[in-house]
A and B are shown apart, each in its own frame.
Chain A
Amino acid sequence: MSNDQAQTTGKPQKPKFRWTEDAIYTNLSYLTMVLPGTIWLILFAYLPMPGIIMAFKNYRLQKPPADHWIQNRFIYSLIESPWVGLDNFRYLINPVNLDNTIMFVRNTVLYNLLFMVVGLVASVALAVIIYELTNRFWAKLYHSIFFLPFFISWVVVAYVVYALANNTGIINTLLASWNMPPLEIYKEKIYWPFIFLFANLWKYTGNGSILYLAIITGIDRQLYEAAAIDGASKWQQFWNITLPQLIPTIVLLQILAVGRIFGSDFDMFYTLPAGSAMVRDVTTTIDIYVFNMLRSTSPLGYPAAAALLQSVLGFILILVTNYIVRKTRPEMALF
Chain B
Amino acid sequence: MLRLAAKPRSARDMLSISPSTNFILNVLMVICVILTLAPFYIIIITSVTSEQSLIQNGYRLWPEEFSLNAYTYLFREGSIVITAYRNTIISTLAGTVLTLILVTFYAYPLSRPNFRFSTFFTFFAFFTMLFGGGLVAYYMVMRQILQIQNTIWALFLPSAFSPFWVFVLRTYIKTNIPDELIEAARIDGASEWRILFQIVMPLSVPGLATISLFSAIGIWNNFFNVLLLVDKVELYNLQYMIYSTLNNIRFLLENASRMQGVVNLSELPSQTFRMAMAVVTIGPIVLAYPFFQRYFVRGLTIGAIKG
Contacts and interface: CB of A to CB of B under 8 A. Distances in A.
Interface of A: 1, 3, 6-7, 9-10, 17, 23, 26-27, 29-31, 33-38, 40-41, 43-52, 54-55, 72-75, 129-136, 138-140, 142-160, 162-164, 168-170, 173, 202, 206, 210-211, 213-215, 217, 221, 224-225, 228, 234, 248-249, 252, 256, 259, 266-267, 270-271, 274-275, 287, 290-291, 294, 300, 303-304, 307-308, 310-311, 314-315, 318, 335
22 contacts: A7-B183, A10-B183, A30-B115, A30-B192, A36-B101, A40-B161, A41-B163, A48-B134, A51-B137, A54-B140, A133-B17, A133-B22, A133-B29, A148-B40, A148-B289, A153-B220, A159-B278, A160-B278, A252-B306, A290-B134, A307-B135, A315-B131
Nearest to B46: A163
Contacts of B163: 41
B132 A49 contact: yes
Given A30-B192, A145-B37, A290-B135, 17 more contacts: A26-B114, A27-B117, A34-B109, A49-B132, A50-B133, A51-B137, A52-B137, A72-B145, A138-B26, A142-B33, A143-B2, A145-B33, A155-B243, A214-B2, A225-B14, A228-B14, A234-B17
Nearest to A276: B250
A249 B186 CA distance: 36
Contact of B116 (A27, A52, A228): A27
A202 B36 contact: yes
Contacts of B139: 294
Contact of B285 (A72, A151, A210): A151
B106 interface: yes
Interface string B223-258: 110010000000000011011001100100000000
B2 A37 contact: no
A249 B305 contact: yes
A247 B91 CA distance: 39
Interface in B39-98: 39-40, 42-43, 46, 58-61
A111 B285 CA distance: 29
Contacts of B115: 26-27, 30
B262 interface: no
A33 B133 contact: no
B1 A129 contact: no
Nearest to B249: A162
B47 to A, nearest CB: 10
A36 B105 contact: yes
A154 B28 contact: no
Interface string B1-34: 1101101010100111101011001101100110
Nearest to A122: B32
Contacts of B160: 40
Interface of B: 1-2, 4-5, 7, 9, 11, 14-17, 19, 21-22, 25-26, 28-29, 32-33, 35-37, 39-40, 42-43, 46, 58-61, 101-103, 105-106, 108-110, 112-117, 121, 124-126, 128-141, 143-146, 157-158, 160-161, 163, 166, 179, 183, 186-189, 191-193, 196, 217, 220-221, 223-224, 227, 239-240, 242-243, 246-247, 250, 271, 274-275, 278, 281-282, 285-286, 289, 293, 297, 300-301, 304-306
Nearest to B180: A10
Contacts of A154: 221, 223
A325 to B, nearest CB: 12
A140 B29 CA distance: 11
Given A33-B108, A159-B246, A149 B191 contact: no
Contacts of A33: 105-106, 108-109, 192-193, 196
Contact of B43 (A72, A139, A163): A163
A168 B188 CA distance: 71
Nearest to B182: A10
B135 A294 contact: yes
Contacts of A249: 305-306
Given A134-B22, A266-B224, A170 B59 contact: yes
A192 to B, nearest CB: 16
Contacts of A228: 14-15
A248 B305 CA distance: 10
Contacts of B102: 36-37, 40
Contacts of B145: 47, 72, 74-75
A37 B135 contact: no
Contacts of A31: 109, 117
A297 to B, nearest CB: 14
A335 B61 CA distance: 52
Contacts of A131: 4
Closest 5 CB pairs of A and B: A51-B137, A307-B134, A48-B133, A74-B144, A37-B106
A132 B105 contact: no
Contact of A129 (B25, B186, B293): B25
Given A49-B133, A143-B1, A155-B223, A274 B250 contact: yes
Contacts of B114: 7, 9-10, 23, 26-27
Contact of B136 (A27, A51, A173): A51
A46 B246 CA distance: 36
A168 B51 CA distance: 13
Nearest to B138: A48
Contact of A303 (B40, B46, B136, B305): B136
A307 to B, nearest CB: 3
B191 A160 contact: no
Contact of A48 (B25, B40, B132, B217): B132
Contacts of B158: 44
